[in-house]
Structure 1
């Protein structure tokens, strides 16, 4: 069987950058969220991922979208809690849902017996009829901090939802899924949902390998391959798949403006979308240890952790960045991957939109020392 070469890296980079809505942001944040399937729910990652993909994204959008029951936080790809559209949430959740037995260790660590957990679960719908802070929930259940383990497990079962608060950090409230949505979470067929989710991944993140599909979903490569077995896809080279209806557009994709800037937060959908050895479309191999949190002592394992906040120029990751607040003042430090990576790039006002979203009255950005392995 003839194996064709992988697509040209520049073509791959331009296509993925555009599919991730980084070249042409959406006019509406719901379109942006549907566009990338889901985003990591932690704050400020969720709002900053949407800011990067939405024109005029405002600080009040997330709270309003939750109040309108347009978005929910549920277990999603790789078992991490994601912010996702209500209309697609059941099909995202169904293939990644874990059996309750998988959380036996969590409950045991919190000193909660299975019978006690079942009793708490039976009481939950009556107590969590309205959103409650952890302190309010503990008082209502008459339990200490170990209650939160039980509520988190119920969230992984899809019975409890977490609602956000501050854009800067996770300030969560908990509520019964049925009470909040007006009905229990739908339970579509898991296998059909896996097929749908695999194709959604290729739509938003392709061209990609079966290995990347499996990595993103958190499934085995065997299950990922089975999910795509009869799907309408095309191999554009090197085992990289696209939905067949994207083939012509991929062949004629326009290059990225070499000076285009994208600021991605920690755990961004793009950085967390590919298996550790499949990220060359946006970061050079030698820069992987700077783009991802290190696990262990280097090597490939160092690329499998959390995606760090990145500065992309022309679709390439050239620096990492971090921010901190002192009152209403936000300070940003940018760490270039090479000594001259930021040459001719002015940081003036580059992070102002992020600062404004997070409530900063002033933003100062500085260049730190180049990253070193």
Structure 2
């Protein structure tokens, strides 16, 4: 069985992420290919698509969101993801148990004694008819389930009910206020898949992040017990340098490990950094990925030679800043600054200066 070095895994994943060469895919096609984009910061996918696509304008994402071909919902890892409508309707049933378990891990005692079957039915009924801000949804549910805290009921509804975050949240240039929540099927105008296959999730992860271990796939989606699923699929197998068993699609790109990887700017919460149990292929020194608050598109991380080597941001004084983890060569500073200024022009920002802070 062939052994793949961390560098070979890095180049394979970068190729599938379209971070070696920008792609001619459309925004919707790229979101589909990536299996969704993490989107707690609602504007972060715009930067994620800008850095991956050869041609991309804000309306290329905003338009499909408004047309409901794309949607923001709580899905993989119990986090907000931007996905295609088709993917939302098959993903949500797969993560039902995960989401309820995540809620119970934090708040089970707060809804002790709640009739969950009746609660789910009531939450679905309410959100099938109208969109609610979360506090208002909590109050409506408290009217039906007296004796329970309205805020806890609203959280329970988010985790136990298939919901979409409505536009204009996530639309470039529109309000960044919290989005009203509505039933996912109502918003998308179609039923969820009755019996979705977890094998489809395994294939999607490998297509965007592979080669990968079963543990990698499980961390990305939040599901467990996927080893038997992977074993039933038509996959090829490799070994990582440390002996881990890796699965992959037979025809997926696995470029030579000496292929150059250009500098790239990633947004906050980019799944490249969050979708492997062993992240050494992209994260040296086991650094924790920053998860800053905010609406996105004003900062993130950067890659040098395919590795996460620092953070970038548009500072309050109008500067483009680089916060490296390691000393940068002048050519790296120049290339990263060029990317930052290009992003600023794309986003309609005026940049007063570019500066590089000391490594930290």
CA distance in 2, matches of 1:118, 1:26: 48
1:183-207 deviation line (CA, Å, top 9, x unaligned): 4433324xxx211101211121111
CA distance in 2, matches of 1:131, 1:271: 33
Which of 306, 310, 322 in structure 1 is aligned with 2:313? 322
What SS does structure 1 have at the residue aligned with 2:302? strand
What SS does structure 2 have at the residue aligned with 1:179? helix
**Shift of residue 268 of structure 1?**
0.6
Q: Hey, what does 1:234 align to over in structure 2?
A: 236
Q: Hey, what does 1:10 align to over in structure 2?
A: 7
1:73-113 deviation line (CA, Å, top 9, x unaligned): 2333222221111112233233322274763553754x797
The question of whether the paired residues in 1 share the 8 Å contact of 2:216 and 2:276 is answered with: yes
Give the TM-score, by structure 2 length.
0.78
**Shift of residue 273 of structure 1?**
1.3
The question of whether the paired residues in 2 share the 8 Å contact of 1:266 and 1:309 is answered with: yes
CA distance in 1, matches of 2:66, 2:96: 25
Alignment of 1:164-313 (within 5 A): 164-165=169-170, 167=172, 171-189=178-196, 193-220=197-224, 223-238=225-240, 239-246=245-252, 249-250=253-254, 253=256, 255-258=258-261, 260-275=262-277, 278-284=278-284, 286=285, 288-289=286-287, 292-293=289-290, 309-313=300-304
Which of 325, 329, 333 in structure 2 is aligned with 1:337? 325
Bigger drift between 121-130 and 53-62 goes to 121-130
CA distance in 2, matches of 1:161, 1:265: 22
**Shift of residue 224 of structure 1?**
1.8
Give the TM-score, by structure 1 length.
0.75
CA distance in 1, matches of 2:127, 2:198: 33
What SS does structure 2 have at the residue aligned with 1:87? helix
CA distance in 2, matches of 1:233, 1:257: 27
Measured on the aligned residues, the alpha-carbon RMSD in Å equals: 3.5
Q: Hey, what does 1:298 align to over in structure 2?
A: none
Pair 1:117–1:170, CA change in 2 (3 A): farther
Q: Hey, what does 1:302 align to over in structure 2?
A: none
The question of whether the paired residues in 2 share the 8 Å contact of 1:26 and 1:32 is answered with: no
CA distance in 2, matches of 1:95, 1:65: 24
Which of 161, 164, 167 in structure 1 is aligned with 2:164? 161
**Shift of residue 151 of structure 1?**
4.1
What SS does structure 2 have at the residue aligned with 1:360? coil
The question of whether the paired residues in 2 share the 8 Å contact of 1:203 and 1:243 is answered with: yes
The question of whether the paired residues in 2 share the 8 Å contact of 1:167 and 1:358 is answered with: no
CA distance in 2, matches of 1:156, 1:26: 36
The question of whether the paired residues in 1 share the 8 Å contact of 2:135 and 2:150 is answered with: no
1:324-346 deviation line (CA, Å, top 9, x unaligned): 456xx4x4431112123565522
User: Where in structure 1 are there 5+ consecutive unaligned residues?
Assistant: 295-307
The question of whether the paired residues in 1 share the 8 Å contact of 2:89 and 2:191 is answered with: no
Greater RCO (CA < 8 Å, at least 6 residues apart): 2
The question of whether the paired residues in 1 share the 8 Å contact of 2:282 and 2:308 is answered with: yes
CA distance in 2, matches of 1:358, 1:132: 31
CA distance in 2, matches of 1:59, 1:132: 27
User: Where in structure 2 are there 5+ consecutive unaligned residues?
Assistant: 144-148, 292-298
What SS does structure 1 have at the residue aligned with 2:233? coil
1:214-250 deviation line (CA, Å, top 9, x unaligned): 2222233xx121111111111133322211233xx42
CA distance in 1, matches of 2:183, 2:119: 15
